[in-house]
Structure 1
Protein backbone atom coordinates (compact mmCIF):
# COMPACT_ATOMS: atom_id res chain seq x y z
CA UNK A 1 0.00 0.00 0.00
CA UNK A 2 3.03 2.27 0.42
CA UNK A 3 3.58 3.54 -3.09
CA UNK A 4 0.80 1.47 -4.63
CA UNK A 5 -0.51 4.50 -6.46
CA UNK A 6 2.82 6.30 -6.83
CA UNK A 7 3.23 7.80 -10.29
CA UNK A 8 6.45 7.17 -12.15
CA UNK A 9 8.58 10.14 -13.02
CA UNK A 10 9.34 10.76 -16.70
CA UNK A 11 12.90 9.58 -16.10
CA UNK A 12 11.69 6.28 -14.60
CA UNK A 13 9.37 5.72 -17.56
CA UNK A 14 12.22 6.30 -20.00
CA UNK A 15 14.50 3.97 -18.05
CA UNK A 16 11.86 1.21 -18.21
CA UNK A 17 11.45 1.76 -21.95
CA UNK A 18 15.24 1.73 -22.43
CA UNK A 19 15.59 -1.56 -20.57
CA UNK A 20 12.72 -3.12 -22.55
CA UNK A 21 14.26 -2.05 -25.87
CA UNK A 22 17.62 -3.54 -24.90
CA UNK A 23 15.97 -6.84 -23.98
CA UNK A 24 14.06 -6.93 -27.27
CA UNK A 25 17.22 -6.13 -29.19
CA UNK A 26 19.06 -8.96 -27.47
CA UNK A 27 16.30 -11.45 -28.28
CA UNK A 28 16.15 -10.34 -31.91
CA UNK A 29 19.92 -10.53 -32.34
CA UNK A 30 19.76 -14.28 -32.93
CA UNK A 31 16.81 -14.11 -35.32
CA UNK A 32 16.89 -10.86 -37.27
CA UNK A 33 19.98 -8.69 -37.05
CA UNK A 34 18.42 -5.74 -38.86
CA UNK A 35 15.47 -5.54 -36.44
CA UNK A 36 17.91 -5.88 -33.55
CA UNK A 37 19.90 -2.92 -34.84
CA UNK A 38 16.72 -0.85 -35.11
CA UNK A 39 15.86 -1.63 -31.48
CA UNK A 40 19.38 -0.64 -30.43
CA UNK A 41 18.97 2.65 -32.29
CA UNK A 42 15.66 3.31 -30.53
CA UNK A 43 17.30 2.49 -27.21
CA UNK A 44 20.12 4.94 -27.89
CA UNK A 45 17.57 7.66 -28.67
CA UNK A 46 15.80 6.98 -25.37
CA UNK A 47 19.14 7.13 -23.58
CA UNK A 48 19.76 10.58 -25.08
CA UNK A 49 16.39 11.71 -23.71
CA UNK A 50 17.31 10.37 -20.27
CA UNK A 51 20.59 12.30 -20.38
CA UNK A 52 18.72 15.49 -21.33
CA UNK A 53 16.48 15.07 -18.29
CA UNK A 54 19.48 14.64 -16.01
CA UNK A 55 20.98 17.94 -17.14
Structure 2
Protein backbone atom coordinates (compact mmCIF):
# COMPACT_ATOMS: atom_id res chain seq x y z
CA UNK A 1 0.00 0.00 0.00
CA UNK A 2 2.70 2.49 0.97
CA UNK A 3 5.15 1.32 -1.66
CA UNK A 4 3.63 3.25 -4.54
CA UNK A 5 3.27 6.54 -2.66
CA UNK A 6 6.71 6.08 -1.15
CA UNK A 7 8.21 5.58 -4.61
CA UNK A 8 6.47 8.71 -5.89
CA UNK A 9 7.70 10.75 -2.93
CA UNK A 10 11.24 9.42 -3.36
CA UNK A 11 11.19 10.37 -7.05
CA UNK A 12 9.91 13.85 -6.22
CA UNK A 13 12.55 14.21 -3.49
CA UNK A 14 15.33 13.24 -5.89
CA UNK A 15 14.04 15.65 -8.54
CA UNK A 16 13.88 18.56 -6.09
CA UNK A 17 17.36 17.85 -4.77
CA UNK A 18 18.73 17.79 -8.33
CA UNK A 19 16.98 21.07 -9.13
CA UNK A 20 18.39 22.58 -5.95
CA UNK A 21 21.87 21.49 -6.92
CA UNK A 22 21.50 22.82 -10.47
CA UNK A 23 20.29 26.19 -9.19
CA UNK A 24 22.93 26.48 -6.48
CA UNK A 25 25.42 28.28 -8.71
CA UNK A 26 22.84 30.39 -10.54
CA UNK A 27 20.17 31.45 -8.07
CA UNK A 28 20.81 30.71 -4.42
CA UNK A 29 17.35 31.78 -3.24
CA UNK A 30 15.56 29.41 -5.63
CA UNK A 31 18.04 26.69 -4.74
CA UNK A 32 17.21 27.12 -1.05
CA UNK A 33 13.48 26.99 -1.81
CA UNK A 34 13.87 23.72 -3.72
CA UNK A 35 15.95 22.28 -0.90
CA UNK A 36 13.28 23.24 1.64
CA UNK A 37 10.63 21.52 -0.49
CA UNK A 38 12.83 18.43 -0.71
CA UNK A 39 13.35 18.40 3.05
CA UNK A 40 9.58 18.46 3.58
CA UNK A 41 9.25 15.46 1.26
CA UNK A 42 12.04 13.81 3.25
CA UNK A 43 10.05 14.26 6.45
CA UNK A 44 7.03 12.68 4.77
CA UNK A 45 9.18 9.74 3.69
CA UNK A 46 10.42 9.34 7.27
CA UNK A 47 6.83 9.27 8.53
CA UNK A 48 5.90 6.58 6.00
CA UNK A 49 8.94 4.57 7.03
CA UNK A 50 7.88 4.74 10.67
CA UNK A 51 4.40 3.49 9.79
CA UNK A 52 5.70 0.34 8.11
Fold in common (TM above 0.5)? yes
Gaps of 5+ in 1: 1-7
| CA RMSD between the two structures | 1.0
CA radius of gyration, larger in: 1
The number of residues matched between the two structures is 48
Q: Which structure 2 residue ranges, 5 or more long, are not aligned? A: none
TM-score norm. by structure 2 comes to 0.89
Q: After TM superposition, what 4+ stretches of structure 1 lie above 2 angstroms from structure 2?
A: none
Question: Taking structure 1 as the reference length, what is the TM-score of the superposition?
Answer: 0.84
More helix by share: 2
